[in-house]
A and B are shown apart, each in its own frame.
Chain A
């Protein structure tokens, strides 16, 4: 059975690209453009991994991660954002709250490697 990935981003083209890419690699992908929609997916169809943007229309990505971690503490979360952080900020702050961090300039192949690493594929 294919593993379930929840992708959260306020930009539909980005969600579309991620869904197409990960579906072609054998994953089942659900997308959410808002934090509210993401919460609903987590309650109804818990994912094996979450990919989220930092900036959402109705919430902050890191805040949403904290909420989802309460519901799914064992599920890994990848922060995928266009905001470029320096390595120290990632190590000291963001890295403790998410399982992985990637900026949106990274190729999709790198995102896939990160997913494989976190899901143990």
Chain B
């Protein structure tokens, strides 16, 4: 058995109700707000990517610059070795020719300078296997040259011209200087090629950095444009919603004003009608009271009779003059108390009643001779008047007015 309670029906709103148009919420539940947040997150991601790529390329450029400087140093030192070698060879030959101690010191100093350049170059190419291998060959040849220099110097110092000539001739056949120059040129060429490759790599890195920055900037600008479009679109939607809301409010206020005015007019009409009704009622009561007062003030006897000539109402003069109470007369035949003419006694119904006949015909009877019998059986001569009562041309009864004659009452027979 299900215990679920029935779902209440959703309340329906009138089309002009203010909550029919709601502005979007300005919190995390707002789709436009979420979209703008996503766009700004993308912009931030692009910026971070560009910064990371740029920093990495900057580091690479710095490393490349170090390598370029290093390569230039290797090339410079190789060229310095070649120059120092030429200078040392020249100084050695000068010493061999002169045998002077100053020239000996000069060549020894030149070879010492050459050794320094060799040490520097070895240190520079230590991290480059190919260059180190090439330089090792040069270094071997240079050591040979140094050994040769020491040998010829000793031959010179010993004064053995034959030994000296033999060493020089052997050196001319080996061609060691040319080989060293060739290897140095090759090393220089290799380093120059490496420099060109590193220049190309540095240019490629710079291009990468440039394109990363440009692409990131363009992408961010596009995203910013998208965000601006989203914000503008959202603002426009909010303005439209606000305008619709304002319009709905205006319509509602107009309807309320119209309805209020309508209700006020109806209320005023009701108040006026109520006053009119009360006025009519008091006027009727006043008029009724006034007419009653007039009738009650009349000294003549007034009877209101039905169409069958039975008494339905009397004025105080009847009670006063006949001695009957009102209850004794109401619904009694008028003929019991009043008779037209002067012969027949009251209370006896004639074969032909002229009063009933006149009522049937709707005729007046005016100033007729008649007699009225009081409670004590005395008869009074009166002047009889009958006026039919009409309701929309239909006779519904009559009014009988008896005027008392000044004559003395007739004693009962």
Contact = CB atoms under 8 A, between A and B. Distances in A.
B283 A20 contact: no
A24 B287 contact: no
B286 A20 contact: no
Nearest to A55: B290
Interface size class of A (residues with CB under 8 A): 10 to 19
A104 interface: yes
Given A104-B283, A105-B284, A107-B280, A17 B275 contact: yes
A109 B276 contact: yes
A52 to B, nearest CB: 16
A108 B276 contact: yes
Contacts, number: 39
B287 to A, nearest CB: 6
B282 interface: yes
Q: Considering residues B268, B276, B284, which has the most beta carbons from chain A within 10 angstroms of its beta carbon?
A: B276
Contact of A82 (B268, B275, B287): B287
B83 interface: no
Contacts of A17: 275, 278-279, 282
Contacts of B280: 105, 107
A119 interface: no
Nearest to B286: A82
A89 to B, nearest CB: 16
Contacts of B237: none
Interface in B248-277: 268, 271-272, 275-276
Contacts of B283: 82, 104-105
Q: Considering residues B276, B283, B284, B287, which has the most beta carbons from chain A within 10 angstroms of its beta carbon?
A: B283
B19 to A, nearest CB: 39
A14 interface: yes
A83 B284 CA distance: 12
Contacts of A108: 272, 275-276, 279
A105 B272 contact: no
A35 B290 CA distance: 22
Contacts of B278: 17
A23 to B, nearest CB: 10
B287 A105 contact: yes
B277 to A, nearest CB: 10
Contact of B282 (A13, A21, A83): A13
Given A17-B278, A108-B275, 11 more contacts: A17-B279, A20-B275, A24-B271, A82-B283, A82-B287, A82-B290, A104-B282, A104-B286, A104-B287, A105-B280, A108-B279
Interface of A: 11, 13-14, 17, 20-21, 24, 82-84, 104-105, 107-109
